[in-house]
Structure 1
Amino acid sequence: MELSYDNLLTVLTIASGSERNLGQKNGEDQLKAWEIQPGYHHSLQEIYLKVDIPLQIRWLAIICFKNGIDKYWRASRQYSISKQEKEQIKSRVFHLLSEQNNQLTIQNAHSIGRIARFDFPSDWPTLFDDMAKSLEEFVFKSNDLISTNNMLIILNRTIKTISMVRIGRSRHALQSKAPLITNILIKLYQKFFQTWTQTMDLSLMEVCYLCLKCLRRIIPEGYEQPHKNQDVVEFLGITVDHLQLLIDNHDKYSSDLLERYVKCYCKLYVSLITINPTSFILLPGCQKILTTFTSLLYQKAEYIYNSSEENDFWEILALKAFSIYKHLIGYIYKKGAVTLKQKNDKFEVSNSLGKLTSEFFTPDFIKQFCDLIITWYLRLKPSDLESWSLEPEEWCNEELSSQWEYQIRPCAENFFQDLIKYFKDDLTEFILNKISNGLMENDSVDKILIKDSILCTFQLSSFSIANNVNFDKLLVDVFIPEGLKSDLVENKILKRRICLIINEWVGIQCSRESRVEIYKLLLNFVQSSNDRVVKFSAIQTLRTIVDDWDFNKNDFQPFLNSFVNLLLSLLDELTLTESKLYIFNTLAVLIQRCNPLVDHQTLISILMVVPKYWEFSTVNNEQILKNSLLRVLKSLTISLNENSIETHNISIPLIRNCCGSDSNDLYTLLSEDGYELWMALLQYCPQTNLNDPQILGLFESISIGLTNSTEILPTILSIIRSYSLYSPSLFYSEVGQGILKILGEYLPTMRDDAFQIFISLMDILVLENAQSEQFITNLVNSGLFSSMISYVLDDNQSIISASKLFIILSRLGHASPEVFFKLLEYYPSIDISQLLKVWLQYFKSIGNPRNKKINLLALLSLITYGIPKNIAIVLEIYSEVIRKTFLFLEEVNETTEGICDAYKQDFTYEDLDEYSYLDTDIKPHGEKIRFEVLIERSDPVYKVNLKSFLKDSIIQLKSQLSDSDFNQLMTLNDEYSIDKLKTLI
């Protein structure tokens, strides 16, 4: 269909229909096809500008228009809108300022904002001048509130869009226009504010609010030094008065819009502090702003404490106040560390710091403020205690996941941590006195809550006061006795707090002996307490200790089985998926960190609950629980080690379920943990269970992960590597060839972490299968051999990486030089001469003696085979190979069998001990045993004496060449090599 105004209107009418049908889909397809047609966006604009067209058609037109601006306005885009059409569109963007529909205006504003982002200032220099002129005309001449409202919506969106630009001319150009716009907006704001506060006209109130929104964006973004602009200084002074007025008359003017006003003032101050704290502090009204928020925190503290409403107005203001203070004390602590853009900035920073510390954040104020925080803001609120009682699990989970910016108690805790960190000298003694004098009375809930709040300061001060406190003594003398008091209802509050204190302090200052006492205490909490919050807090602390760097599993062993059994029993008590998830994750960490101390029966008891909760998560559609179950299975597999076969009946079906071709929606959510379990299952599979049909049957599914899960390619490659040791013959199959083919395609751009595993995989495969005709055929037919040759000859690849790949080529060359040359001849495009020269050139970059020997064995094999065959390049490199071999033999001291200590490290399979944590009491897993057997059986590094091999090569050449040819060959050597050869033969 041809694009025309009438046709476009018809198609928009069909596509905007309320019922979904074939015609509507065809209409959408036609709109999609017209996107790239010249004039399409101009016609869309024309349609949505006509008020006599039905709203739903105009709505679809503006949406298509806005999306088209995003896709096609940039000149660099394919099918971009022509310059002429752009000018026609821009000439009409302000033609519908009288629009009655607010949502349509907002979409139009988004479109204008995007155009401004691309065209201002170079192609639309008059943008802000035009908007300023329109605002003046509407307000001071016609009093057209609708047009004023719409223009302010557009202006707000435009400022917001341009201010997000951090490079280019747009931001600087915005700052040049800021005084013009700011002056008009301030006049409008003052006019409307005075009127609506007298008349309570909601329309005026809305327009005035839009003025404030625009100002709160343009002042922080449009002025590098707001404190030096008189208009801005006067306006900010007015905002404080207005803020106080609205706060004082909150009940009188109570409305959602009024609360948005107050929040907008707060956002303005926070933006100013964030962007330019020096300028904010130097504002004449800064002290008044801070005093206002301080008064608010004091006056409304009790109300906020007792409030149970979500998004409570006063709580939101308190959050903003703490945010402002947080920025300012951070500024003091960092000594005003800002970018010095002008010579006088350093003086102004010093001046602002002096003003802040002498007039506001004085030592007395800081201590009084701490008292306020302890008394009201760190205390558990009545709503907390109610939630604790009625929904303990949900409350615990919220405590673990809450974000401090949005809840007053976590926000106060976060702010207090900054206070004690930044003003440590002023507050350390103050806090310690609070703690020593405030821990005596437990005779009422209120006193216990204050006591809990004081203990909270000790918890939050761990990093700052650690040098002034003996935590081990406090633990034994104060916290443990407090925690073991009779199980009164009120004592649960202090038990939870003791868990949180230990949670914070254990990684900072805690002896091995103290940790043992903590294990006893936590075990008591979980065993004896009927309160789920106390139990959950104890488990949270346990997990922190077990995951700590200084955790000693032998000290923990006497408590291990008890904790595991309690965790398993706790699973049945908990009802929320999040709680069960936390328990399973804790079990996984516990098994992992205590390996191999968890006894066999305990591991099996954990294993037995997995199917039950897998079924539970399926029935309740709680798939996220399955990730934790897979991690638990992985930890169990590792801990069971040679007995890991006991997990197979559970693990293998789950792996197939999560990583197989039929996993569907589960693949995205579960495959990563499924592959981790699969890898552990293979690595820890014992030697007695090789060639298990179920494990072999999984091999076909690995191609799915290799193709679709490149973000976890190292894990997928590790699984393939495990199969190369578990059952090498798998790579003779069609599936094996397919895997080699995919690897060949990945090789040129493979990441370093995956490349290292690829090298170890290929090293194992070639060691196992170099004599297998079928494997060599698959290697060639898959294209992997060609990819490896191309890789080492590519100058853009790293020399270090190419040198690692030469290890694989060396294995092939040494195993059968005849086959190796035939493989090279199979590809006419390969320059054999260039390959061997690069090989010798890169040999210099190898520092690993083991890898040097592998390369030399191959090069000696190639020259021994190639010289009698008159391969010219082999003769050319002969003398250099001989010299490098003698030089290498001087570096090492091989035994008669060819063994050397230097060869017993730096294997290509360097992550072999990843799961053993280097603990000497952990037995090697099945894969390590398989790798060691392979190395001992097949690796020539340990079976061939290089000096003898060199001697045999020379003798073989002598027997295959005529005397004259052999003598001529010897003359190619330098004096050093000739002398060495005389002692050799």
Structure 2
Amino acid sequence: MDVQSASSVVLQALTQAASQDTAVLKPAEQQLRQWETQPGFYTVLLSIFNNHMLDVNVRWLAVLYFKNGIDRYWRRVAPHALSEEEKASLRAGLITNFNEPVNQIATQIAVLIAKVARLDCPRQWPELIPVLLESVKVQDVLQQHRALLTFYHVTKTLASKRLAADRRLFQDLASSIYGFACSLWNHHTDSFLQQIHTGDQLSTLSSLERTLLSLKVLRKLTVHGFGEPQENMEVMGFLSAVFERLKQFLECCRLVGPGTVCREKLEKTIILYTKVLLDFLEHHPYPFIPLIQRSLEFTVTYVFTEVGEGLVFERFIVQCMSLIKMIVKNEAYRLEKNIEESKAEILEAHQIKSAFFTPPTLTEIGKRLVSKYFLLTEEEVSMWEEDPESFAVEETGGDSWKYSLRPCTEVLFLDIFHQYSSTLTPVLLQMVQDLQGPSDVDDPVQLLLKDSVYNAMGLAAYELFDSVDFDEWFRNQLRGELQVPHHRYKVIRRRVIWLIGQWISVKFKSELRPLLYEAVLSLLQDPDLVVRIETATTIKLAVDDFEFRTEQFLPFLQSIFALLFQLLQQVTECDTKMQILHVISCVIERVGTQIRPYVGCLVQYLPVLWKQSEDHNMLRCAILTTLIYLVQGLGAESSNLYPFLLPVIQLSTDVSLPPHVYLLEDGLELWLVTLEYSPAITTELLRLFQNMTPLLELSSENVKTCFQIITAYMYLAGSEFVQSYGETICTSFCDLLKDITIEGHVQVLKVVEVSIKVSPALSSQAFQSVLPAVFRGVLDGERYPVVMSTYLGVIGRVLLQNSSFFKSLLMQMAMEYNKEMHHLLGDMIEMWVDRMDNITQPERRKLSSLALLSLLPSDNSVIQDKFCGIINICVEALHDVMTEDPETGTFRDCMLMSHLEEPKLSDDDEPPTEQDKRIKLLALQDPVHTVSLQQFMYEKLKAQQLLMGDGPFQALMETVDAEIVRQLQEFLKGL
């Protein structure tokens, strides 16, 4: 593409692509996409975005197209890659001028240059860094800023490369330019510190921006540019200077009023200094050791003494606390159990920390954390009043401690308390002692302080296990505080019920639970919503605890459940509804069937909530979880929910609908439990299975649950299900078996085995496409024992329960292998006998024995030839399944089941599901549990003797080892 002739056409296309009119915009975008692979296109784009006379939006688009082109076509191996000549020309053009007037475009150009540098610097672009270094020295303010901006983005990009060779190149670069980068930073910093006193805001802001950029460069070079930074005096000198510079910049906060652009940039720079220290500590913990003392002195002075008053701001406090936390808890500084074995560096770090964290210092830090930073702020108190739900469910988990002050102070408190509990425990207990007894409701300071102290007692619960008699404290103090009704005392009521929740799993006697449930009952009716929500959370902790006893909870169940349901209706935010639903789910799960009398109101409300939550998939996930526990609690009665339940499952598991992305996992779980507890199949439940084929095609991590659902349908609907969907399932299974793990093979074949067990005739027919592969697996001696065992289970079922189909399958396989049927059968029996040890379950071993015995009596010479092997495995199976009556000396088959047998349930056992009952009924029809192996073997041997005559039969028996015959006679005596 000729630059002169092409420039106007590309410019016109970019102008149209910047239009708001889609009729103009779409064709232009399409045209630009076609040009992306044309030689010269990026040269034209470069000339367009470098032309400051053109429209800003058009230039912006030109930069974006150029940037996207680097990702797609800059690498040599890329399809339609740019030529080396054009790339060389573009590289030269990108660094000819740093005078872009529009800041946003300048940033994009800097990022664009960095992308090219990632691929080409330094080998194909050795001149980039020298040009940047020269450009940041020029006097022109704009050029200097743009060059510095580019320098930063290039440094940041090169520092992010992780291959060893790339890291070595970056380290070479860092060592060659570090001194210059330091002097650049010092120069701009000094300029800013001078100008801030002049009152010239524009010059001050310009200097501050260049200070910030040069510091960003230094941060990347310092953290990622040196393998052994402690050996470089310039690096350690810069890090040491950081503390002094931080003090100077913090003092500047007095001169710059809040809410200005300059103040915002100033705070950004201060935070960047702390990031330098945090990053260096994270990546170089041992080289950081000489900086531990100064870091602790600096952070503790500014955060825990009056020095920081009026200077520090929230983000800075968070960074300082993070630095203290990382020093206190750093794994690299952990002493070995045998201190003498610890490295010298670790011992040095430990000594510095021990010398700094003296009892007086720790006491001051502990007291300040609790009495200053734990206090509810004015903003939090206002939020409590104005938006109680957001206050009650405010997110404090995950990495929030890195960014938010409250979680940060709490995490720091916990880490320091854990490390220095012997010093801090008496301090905290004294603070509790000073606040004993009800607080004055007219003294808000005392109320907030007690709230903070109780917060500390909850956070440190595990550390205080041996120092606090929580049961006594609950009885004598806390319980009484929950009963103070004054509206200002809600702060303490909410904190105490939270505190109890923290201690429940640590130290709370079981016999005190009823007193807690009484308190909970009262607090669920508290006038304050935050107190009620906090109480609900404590209920979840109480019922989800190992020491929970259903019988203690039952007297309160009806009232607590009704109040929780009332709370669910009262709250309006999705997050709050989810939180309360999780509590309700937990209660239903723990009390099981005892919930049945009380769920009517919830059952009526959930469809309403489901409809309201159409745009809130996470709330719908919580509803699905609640429904899972509800179905388990209601058992067979859950069929009354089907008008609501089945459409919910339908929507959640339909992969053609967008919500399935969020709802599928819980939806499948709900589908499964619905089937397990269903008393009988319904047309709607059967129709729901139409969602399954697309799910199996997904082959996702949910495929195991899908197999469980198919199996549940087999047990529930038997022949009707196999008749409706057997062939569809078989087609899906055939596709799955081509590309599935060994475990997946086993899962598929277990489903097939259950199907044959449920409906031998229909299932053999339905799964006839799968069975040849199973037969081949047996004949070829499948090498994985667990797969071979499953293969033999499936073939054993077909042979024993559908012998006519087995014959047709044998005929099909004989044609495939080009062998006589009886010879192929002989090969199969031989492999079966040989691999019998692969079968570990006694039920399957008995099944194999019954299946092979079913071939007798036979005058087939091949079967008679394998007679010895058949008898051997049957005697082995007899050893597995026969038990001897010590009184009579006779044997009986222990696998035989009777209708009269009812398993005795202990208190901890779950009552059987409807599916458990169906499995039991199916077992009562299964030959494995209805046919005595001893009797069956006796009858088959008698029939064989009758067929052959005594002499030939005796000769046949003589092929069996004499010891095996003796054991067999022992088992068969008395028959």
Fold equivalence (TM over 0.5): yes
Alignment of 1:554-953 (within 5 A): 554-598=551-595, 600-618=596-614, 621-660=615-654, 664-686=657-679, 690-708=680-698, 710-733=700-723, 735-750=725-740, 758-772=748-762, 775-780=763-768, 783-789=769-775, 798-826=784-812, 829=816, 839-861=832-854, 864=856, 868=859, 878-893=867-882, 900-901=893-894, 922-937=910-925, 939-953=926-940
Amino acid at match of 1:927: Q
Q: For 2:715 and 2:266, locate their aligned partners in 1 and report how far apart those are by CA, in whole Å.
A: 71
Tell me by how many angstroms 1:30 deviates: 4.8
Cα distance, 1:346–1:89 mapped onto 2, change above 3 Å: farther
Structure 1 residues 419-448: Cα deviation after superposition (integer angstroms, max 9, x where no partner): 111111221222222222233462211011
* 1:326 match: 325
Amino acid at match of 2:313: W
* 1:491 match: 489
Does the CA-based 8 Å contact 1:192-1:208 persist in structure 2? yes
Alignment of 1:242-253 (within 5 A): 242-253=245-256
Tell me by how many angstroms 1:571 deviates: 2.7
* 2:451 match: 452
Helix, strand or coil for the counterpart of 1:711? coil
* 2:243 match: 240
* 1:274 match: 282
Tell me by how many angstroms 1:590 deviates: 0.6
Amino acid at match of 1:800: V
Root-mean-square deviation (CA, aligned residues, Å) is: 3.7
Tell me by how many angstroms 1:382 deviates: 1.8
Q: For 1:921 and 1:824, locate their aligned partners in 2 and report how far apart those are by CA, in whole Å.
A: 46
Does the CA-based 8 Å contact 1:691-1:726 persist in structure 2? yes
Cα distance, 1:777–1:890 mapped onto 2, change above 3 Å: closer
Cα distance, 1:349–1:81 mapped onto 2, change above 3 Å: farther
Q: For 1:943 and 1:893, locate their aligned partners in 2 and report how far apart those are by CA, in whole Å.
A: 14
Structure 1 residues 790-813: Cα deviation after superposition (integer angstroms, max 9, x where no partner): 666789974323423431222112
Residue 59, structure 1, aligned to residue 48, structure 2: no
User: Which one of 484, 499, 504 corresponds to residue 501 of structure 1?
Assistant: 499
Tell me by how many angstroms 1:753 deviates: 7.2
Structure 1: give runs of 5+ residues left out of the alignment.
305-311, 339-343, 906-912
Q: For 1:265 and 1:222, locate their aligned partners in 2 and report how far apart those are by CA, in whole Å.
A: 17
Helix, strand or coil for the counterpart of 2:19? coil
Cα distance, 1:973–1:113 mapped onto 2, change above 3 Å: farther
* 2:200 match: none
* 2:821 match: none
Tell me by how many angstroms 1:819 deviates: 2.0
Q: For 1:333 and 1:561, locate their aligned partners in 2 and report how far apart those are by CA, in whole Å.
A: 53
Q: For 1:110 and 1:946, locate their aligned partners in 2 and report how far apart those are by CA, in whole Å.
A: 78
Does the CA-based 8 Å contact 2:159-2:224 persist in structure 1? yes
Q: For 2:112 and 2:961, locate their aligned partners in 1 and report how far apart those are by CA, in whole Å.
A: 78
- For these two proteins, the number of residue pairs brought into alignment is 938
Cα distance, 1:830–1:45 mapped onto 2, change above 3 Å: farther
**Range with greater deviation from structure 2 (428-437 or 498-507):** 428-437
Cα distance, 1:230–1:587 mapped onto 2, change above 3 Å: same
Q: For 1:544 and 1:743, locate their aligned partners in 2 and report how far apart those are by CA, in whole Å.
A: 43
Tell me by how many angstroms 1:275 deviates: 1.3
* 1:909 match: none
Does the CA-based 8 Å contact 2:148-2:214 persist in structure 1? yes
Cα distance, 1:641–1:300 mapped onto 2, change above 3 Å: farther
Does the CA-based 8 Å contact 2:750-2:790 persist in structure 1? no
Q: For 1:637 and 1:752, locate their aligned partners in 2 and report how far apart those are by CA, in whole Å.
A: 33
Tell me by how many angstroms 1:324 deviates: 0.2
Tell me by how many angstroms 1:766 deviates: 0.5
Residue 293, structure 1, aligned to residue 299, structure 2: yes
Does the CA-based 8 Å contact 2:830-2:866 persist in structure 1? yes
Amino acid at match of 1:446: V
Residue 209, structure 1, aligned to residue 212, structure 2: yes
Residue 103, structure 1, aligned to residue 100, structure 2: no
Does the CA-based 8 Å contact 1:714-1:757 persist in structure 2? yes
**Range with greater deviation from structure 2 (969-978 or 267-276):** 969-978
Structure 1 residues 243-277: Cα deviation after superposition (integer angstroms, max 9, x where no partner): 11121121313422111111110111111111122
Alignment of 1:183-262 (within 5 A): 183-200=179-196, 201=203, 202-254=205-257, 255=262, 256-262=264-270
Tell me by how many angstroms 1:372 deviates: 1.1
* 1:412 match: 409
Amino acid at match of 2:922: L
TM-score, normalising length from structure 2? 0.87
Structure 1 residues 515-543: Cα deviation after superposition (integer angstroms, max 9, x where no partner): 2221111112112x201111111111011
Cα distance, 1:143–1:658 mapped onto 2, change above 3 Å: same
Q: For 1:86 and 1:836, locate their aligned partners in 2 and report how far apart those are by CA, in whole Å.
A: 71
* 1:468 match: 467
Tell me by how many angstroms 1:221 deviates: 1.4
Tell me by how many angstroms 1:238 deviates: 2.7
Tell me by how many angstroms 1:751 deviates: 5.6
Q: For 1:658 and 1:636, locate their aligned partners in 2 and report how far apart those are by CA, in whole Å.
A: 17
Q: For 1:70 and 1:145, locate their aligned partners in 2 and report how far apart those are by CA, in whole Å.
A: 32
Cα distance, 1:136–1:577 mapped onto 2, change above 3 Å: closer
Amino acid at match of 1:721: T
Structure 1 residues 777-828: Cα deviation after superposition (integer angstroms, max 9, x where no partner): 3212xx3334545666789974323423431222112223442242254355
Tell me by how many angstroms 1:933 deviates: 0.3
Q: For 1:788 and 1:450, locate their aligned partners in 2 and report how far apart those are by CA, in whole Å.
A: 72
Does the CA-based 8 Å contact 2:366-2:413 persist in structure 1? yes
Cα distance, 1:193–1:981 mapped onto 2, change above 3 Å: closer
* 2:199 match: none
Does the CA-based 8 Å contact 2:707-2:748 persist in structure 1? yes
Does the CA-based 8 Å contact 2:136-2:143 persist in structure 1? no
Q: For 1:946 and 1:629, locate their aligned partners in 2 and report how far apart those are by CA, in whole Å.
A: 50
Helix, strand or coil for the counterpart of 2:433? helix
Helix, strand or coil for the counterpart of 1:465? coil
Q: For 2:75 and 2:838, locate their aligned partners in 1 and report how far apart those are by CA, in whole Å.
A: 48
**Range with greater deviation from structure 2 (16-25 or 449-458):** 16-25
* 1:910 match: none
Q: For 1:97 and 1:821, locate their aligned partners in 2 and report how far apart those are by CA, in whole Å.
A: 85
Tell me by how many angstroms 1:660 deviates: 4.7
Does the CA-based 8 Å contact 1:227-1:282 persist in structure 2? no
Tell me by how many angstroms 1:132 deviates: 4.0
Q: For 2:320 and 2:312, locate their aligned partners in 1 and report how far apart those are by CA, in whole Å.
A: 13
Alignment of 1:139-150 (within 5 A): 139-140=136-137, 142-150=138-146
Does the CA-based 8 Å contact 1:195-1:204 persist in structure 2? yes
Cα distance, 1:814–1:289 mapped onto 2, change above 3 Å: same
**Range with greater deviation from structure 2 (407-416 or 42-51):** 42-51
Helix, strand or coil for the counterpart of 1:19? coil
Tell me by how many angstroms 1:499 deviates: 1.3
Does the CA-based 8 Å contact 2:336-2:342 persist in structure 1? no
Does the CA-based 8 Å contact 2:672-2:709 persist in structure 1? yes
Structure 1 residues 214-267: Cα deviation after superposition (integer angstroms, max 9, x where no partner): 111220111234333211222223322221112112131342211111111011
TM-score, normalising length from structure 1? 0.87
Cα distance, 1:753–1:164 mapped onto 2, change above 3 Å: farther
